[in-house]
């Protein structure tokens, strides 16, 4: 009899709970704009079900509510595509919204206290040191030469693959990832890791760095990562091994640069070509500026944070740009025509050389100058239009230091994450018109001149005090690579190849990459 009662009570409880969920599911949630918030678990179930296409899931709610909330167990994530709300969070009330504790905890082993994770004084130091590098003279001298060097390497790899090996298909995402890593590494610390060498070899440092980054971000969905780190097991054991290699590489570079700079007599890095990289410049400046901290830890964090920022931005932007110009052949031809019109001198030089495609590419790259690239307004528009639809950072969040009230009336509690959604913003009809989801470089041109938009509308490079200081450097590197490759090769998608994004802090393509067919022009 007791067993019958227990079974009956249990069955009644299950039925009652099922009925409650069925009714609750149909009830409108008047308190929250966004996905349904269930008791105890919030929106977690729907979030997990849509994690593979997270950005399009958020877009669905952005189109319903310009500011909306996704709740989890104990925390709310408030997302906005409203420029006025974004300006308030990222500029007007900037000091109430910082990196917080959650993201730094996940990334601290790899990125330390760098720009990706730092608040207050550490962030100010990294911002100050970054600005020493991203100045016009450096861009036009050291950075410009490095970017041309690696664009040339990429073009020669394609030429050799096609001419020597007979290859007609290639994964451009792999090429661009290697190109971005090697060039950024040389700009930051003066070292070429060699991953873009002929044959595309496996190189320990880039591979360890990328693997450490992926494992660090995967901590966000691993509730046991702290225990695994303590016991040094599973993914945390692999991460520790990769971090050891990364730390050994950066320490070796720092030691080498300290010796070189100490042996020099210069106190002005702008006048010495041998010290164009960021690390050397900082060490030289530190000779006269005691306020610039230069401990090994600060320098190590600076190297890795800047390397990550440049690598992701450049590799992803180039991959998505070439995807767009493959899908839109007319845009590819328009870029080519602009190249021919604005770089007549370069065209004559390259075509006057009777030799291999490698020799022609080398002559063209050598003649390519800053002024020529600056004239390419359509190329600037095409890159920007790509970044509108495929931003380098699809979600940019901050943690509230104190309770707040957003301009649209949304209440924020201390500890809530509040942020913009650039991926959704670029697709909002209310911001860009009825053709918001279409790829149209012309939307950025007025009388054939590029016209920028407010960073609170076009949020790819962030906005406010923490906006990207390397924006101009990124555009320059992307322009060089596109100009060189489109000038000498024609690209189109491999039939049947599907391109999709992979959910990560940046917006890389999935592991299937960007398979294209290419041929010399």
Burial class (CB in 10 A: 0-12, 13-18, 19+), 20: exposed
Q: What was the pLDDT predicted at 143?
A: 84
For range 97-117, the mean pLDDT: 76
Strand ranges, E, within 162-295: 169-171
What is the rounded CA–CA span in Å between residue 500 and residue 507?
10
Q: What is the pLDDT of residues 208-245, one digit of tens each?
A: 998 998 888 888 778 788 999 999 999 999 999 999 99
Q: How confident is the model at residue 21 (pLDDT cuts 50, 70, 90)?
A: very low
Rounded to two decimals, what is the model's pTM?
Answer: 0.87
How many angstroms separate the Cα of 117 from the Cα of each of 57, 108, 221, 502? 26, 7, 18, 22
Helices (H) and strands (E) in the chain, counts: 22, 12
Q: What is the pLDDT of residues 395-451, one digit of tens each?
A: 988 889 999 999 999 999 999 999 899 999 999 999 999 999 999 999 999 999 999
Go through the chain and tell me how many residues it has: 521
pLDDT for 151 beyond 70:
yes
Mean pLDDT of the chain: 84
What is the rounded CA–CA span in Å between residue 16 and residue 228?
39
For range 65-87, the mean pLDDT: 90
pLDDT for 288 beyond 70:
no
Strand pairing report for 417-420 and 75-80: parallel
Strands of the sheet with 396-400, listed across from one edge: 67-72, 75-80, 417-420, 396-400, 97-98
Top-confidence residue, 179 or 126: 179
Q: What is the pLDDT of residues 444-502, one digit of tens each?
A: 999 999 999 999 999 998 888 777 777 888 899 999 999 999 999 999 999 999 999 99
What is the rounded CA–CA span in Å between residue 392 and residue 275?
29
What is the rounded CA–CA span in Å between residue 273 and residue 284?
13
What is the rounded CA–CA span in Å between residue 191 and residue 185?
6
For range 309-319, the mean pLDDT: 89
pLDDT for 22 beyond 70:
no
Strand ranges, E, within 362-423: 396-400, 404-405, 411-412, 417-420
How many angstroms separate the Cα of 152 from the Cα of each of 27, 146, 166, 170, 403? 61, 10, 20, 17, 52
Q: How confident is the model at residue 273 (pLDDT cuts 50, 70, 90)?
A: very low
What is the rounded CA–CA span in Å between residue 341 and residue 470?
28
Q: What was the pLDDT predicted at 27?
A: 42
pLDDT for 90 beyond 80:
yes
What token pair was written down for 295? Answer: 């401990």
Helix (H), strand (E) at residue 449? strand 449-450
Q: What is the pLDDT of residues 352-381, one digit of tens each?
A: 566 788 888 898 898 888 888 989 999 999
For range 130-159, the mean pLDDT: 78
Distance of CA 160 to the CA centre of its chain: 29
pLDDT for 253 beyond 90:
yes
Give the single-character DSSP code of 90.
I
């Amino acid at each position: 009899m007791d067993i019958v009662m227990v079974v009956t009570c249990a069955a009644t409880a299950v039925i009652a709970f099922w009925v409650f969920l069925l009714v609750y599911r149909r009830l409108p949630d008047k308190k929250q704009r966004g996905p349904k918030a269930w008791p105890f678990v919030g929106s977690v179930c729907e979030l997990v079900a849509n994690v593979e296409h997270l950005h399009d899931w958020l877009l669905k709610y952005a189109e319903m509510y310009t500011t909306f909330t996704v709740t989890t167990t104990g925390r709310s994530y408030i997302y906005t595509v409203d420029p006025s709300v974004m300006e308030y969070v990222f500029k007007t009330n900037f000091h109430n919204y910082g990196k917080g504790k959650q993201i730094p905890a996940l990334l601290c082993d790899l990125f330390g206290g760098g720009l990706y994770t730092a608040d207050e004084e550490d962030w100010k130091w990294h911002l100050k040191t970054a600005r020493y590098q991203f100045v016009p003279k450096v861009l036009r001298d050291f950075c410009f030469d490095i970017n041309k060097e690696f664009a040339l390497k990429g073009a020669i790899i394609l030429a050799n693959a096609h001419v020597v090996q007979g290859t007609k298909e290639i994964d451009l995402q792999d090429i661009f990832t290697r190109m971005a890593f090697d060039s950024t590494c040389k700009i930051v610390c003066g070292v070429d890791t060699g991953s873009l060498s002929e044959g595309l070899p496996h190189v320990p440092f880039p591979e360890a760095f990328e693997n450490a980054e992926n494992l660090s971000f995967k901590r966000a969905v691993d509730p046991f990562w702290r225990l695994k780190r303590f016991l040094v097991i599973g993914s945390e054991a692999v991460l520790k091994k990769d971090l050891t290699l990364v730390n050994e590489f950066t320490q070796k570079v720092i030691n080498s640069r300290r010796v070189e700079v100490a042996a020099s007599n210069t106190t002005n890095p702008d006048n010495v070509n041998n010290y164009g990289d960021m690390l050397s410049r900082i060490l030289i400046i530190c000779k006269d500026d005691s306020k610039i901290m230069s401990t090994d830890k600060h320098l190590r964090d600076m190297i890795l944070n800047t390397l990550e920022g440049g690598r992701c931005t450049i590799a992803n932007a180039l991959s998505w740009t070439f995807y767009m110009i493959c899908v839109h052949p007319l845009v590819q031809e328009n870029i080519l025509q602009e190249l021919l019109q604005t770089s007549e001198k370069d065209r004559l030089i390259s075509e006057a050389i009777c030799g291999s495609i490698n020799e022609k590419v080398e002559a063209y790259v050598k003649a390519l100058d800053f002024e020529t690239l600056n004239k390419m307004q359509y190329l600037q528009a095409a890159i920007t239009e790509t970044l509108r639809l495929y931003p380098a950072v699809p979600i940019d969040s901050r943690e509230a230091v104190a309770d707040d009230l957003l301009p649209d009336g949304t209440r924020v509690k201390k500890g809530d994450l509040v942020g913009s959604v650039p991926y959704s913003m670029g697709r909002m009809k209310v911001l860009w018109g009825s053709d918001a989801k279409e790829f149209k470089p012309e939307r950025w041109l007025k009388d054939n001149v590029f016209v920028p938009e407010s960073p609170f509308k076009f949020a790819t490079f962030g906005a406010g005090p923490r906006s990207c200081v390397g924006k101009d450097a990124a555009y320059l590197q992307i322009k060089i690579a596109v100009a060189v490759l489109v000038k000498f090769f024609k690209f189109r998608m491999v039939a049947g190849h599907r391109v999709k994004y992979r959910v990560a802090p940046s917006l890389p393509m999935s592991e299937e990459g960007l398979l294209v067919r290419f041929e010399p022009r």
